[in-house]
């Protein structure tokens, strides 16, 4: 009996341990013919006749392109800015000033009783001028143009000395110049350097002549510049047109120039001097 009970428990344990999800299909169930199902993927036909495959150019804003060009023909310009003159001859006037100061100091040392020592100011070591110019431009094309212009610059340096009597003496020198120039402008292609499509850079090359009343007038004498038919110097400027409206264009320019003046006048204080240096300009073209 014990053996029979043990066998009975083992038998039912095996039966109930099987997967109950397994279900036998009845014999009369309808069979499915899988061979009749087409499982291949078929592409949906596309009507290619309705598709326009021709290449069409991208529309160009002609107004923007035209505004980036200076039209051929006659134009006018005016400019102003700041220029640091490389005026090395200032040392000549500084030495003359020191010489005058030494005279006052010697006179004071000879009799100091009841007197005050002389006081000296020195000339500035930098000559800053604000030149103005104007002229005409003949624009041949978008790339090339020629210009004729005239400018004016003025610089005056003044100092004081006091003697042993505390009397004030003024000493100065004044630079005046009337340069005229011929200029060639070359447009730098926007494909090479550009910040925006409608702006561009230009290179300006100048050749100068100095006309009267170019001169230096000082407390020790003056020097009038001679006219040189072959010219007095040159300049090179790099410009960027940063604003335009209708026929008006505004350039910012920075450049270097060298202009030599020579004087053969009698009793001249200087034989030659240079008016070149670093120049920063704003030019309006219309």
> What distance lies between CA 158 and its chain's CA centroid?
34
Residue 279: CB atoms within 10 Å: 21
Q: Is 38 a domain residue?
A: no
Name the residue with higher pLDDT: 112 or 155. 155
Name the residue with higher pLDDT: 72 or 184. 184
**φ and ψ of 256, to 5 deg:** -120, 140
Which CATH number covers residue 143?
A: 2.40.128
Q: Is 147 a domain residue?
A: yes
* Owning domain of residue 271: 70-285
User: Which pLDDT value is given to residue 21?
Assistant: 44
Whole-number Å distance between alpha carbons of 179 and 176? 10
Tokens 């004030």 sit on residue: 168
Q: Is 162 a domain residue?
A: yes
Q: Is 217 a domain residue?
A: yes
Name the residue with higher pLDDT: 240 or 33. 240
E-strand stretches of the chain = 73-85, 127-129, 132-139, 144-162, 168-188, 201-218, 221-224, 233-245, 248-262, 272-274, 277-285
Q: How many domains does the chain have?
A: 1
Q: Is 79 a domain residue?
A: yes
Output the DSSP codes for 221-253. Answer: EEEEPPP-TT-SEEEEEEEEEEEEETTEEEEEE
pLDDT tens for each residue of 9-63: 444 444 444 444 444 444 444 444 545 545 554 545 545 555 555 555 444 443 3
User: Which pLDDT value is given to residue 71?
Assistant: 81
Q: Is 81 a domain residue?
A: yes
Length of the chain: 286
Residues 236-252: what's their mean pLDDT? 88
User: Which pLDDT value is given to residue 40?
Assistant: 52
Name the residue with higher pLDDT: 221 or 58. 221
Whole-number Å distance between alpha carbons of 256 and 137? 21
Q: Is 25 a domain residue?
A: no
Q: Is 126 a domain residue?
A: yes
Residues 146-150: what's their mean pLDDT? 96
């Amino acid at each position: 009996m014990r053996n029979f009970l043990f066998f009975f428990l083992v038998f039912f344990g095996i039966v109930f341990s099987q997967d109950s999800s397994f279900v036998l299909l009845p014999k009369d169930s309808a069979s499915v013919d899988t061979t009749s199902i087409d499982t291949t993927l078929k592409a949906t036909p596309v009507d290619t006749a309705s598709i326009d495959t021709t290449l069409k150019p991208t529309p160009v804003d002609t107004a923007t392109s035209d505004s980036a060009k200076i039209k051929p023909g006659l134009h006018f310009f005016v400019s102003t800015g700041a220029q640091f003159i490389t005026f090395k001859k200032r040392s000549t006037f500084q030495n003359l000033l020191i010489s005058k100061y030494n005279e006052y100091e010697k006179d004071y040392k000879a009799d100091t009783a009841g007197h005050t020592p002389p006081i000296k100011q020195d000339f500035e070591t930098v000559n800053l001028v604000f030149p103005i110019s104007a002229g005409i431009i003949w624009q041949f094309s978008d790339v090339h143009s020629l210009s004729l212009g005239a400018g004016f610059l003025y610089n005056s340096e003044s100092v004081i000395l006091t003697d042993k009597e505390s009397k004030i003496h003024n000493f100065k020198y004044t630079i005046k110049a009337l340069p005229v120039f011929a200029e060639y402008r070359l447009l730098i292609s926007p494909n090479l350097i550009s910040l925006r499509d409608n702006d561009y850079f230009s290179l300006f090359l100048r050749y100068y002549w100095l006309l009267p009343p170019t001169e230096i007038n000082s407390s020790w004498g003056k020097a009038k510049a001679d006219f040189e038919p072959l010219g007095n110097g040159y300049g090179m400027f790099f410009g960027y047109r940063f604003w335009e409206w209708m026929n008006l264009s505004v350039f910012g320019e920075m450049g270097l120039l060298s202009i030599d003046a020579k004087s053969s006048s009698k009793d001249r204080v200087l034989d030659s001097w240079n008016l070149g240096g670093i120049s920063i300009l704003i030019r309006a073209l219309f």
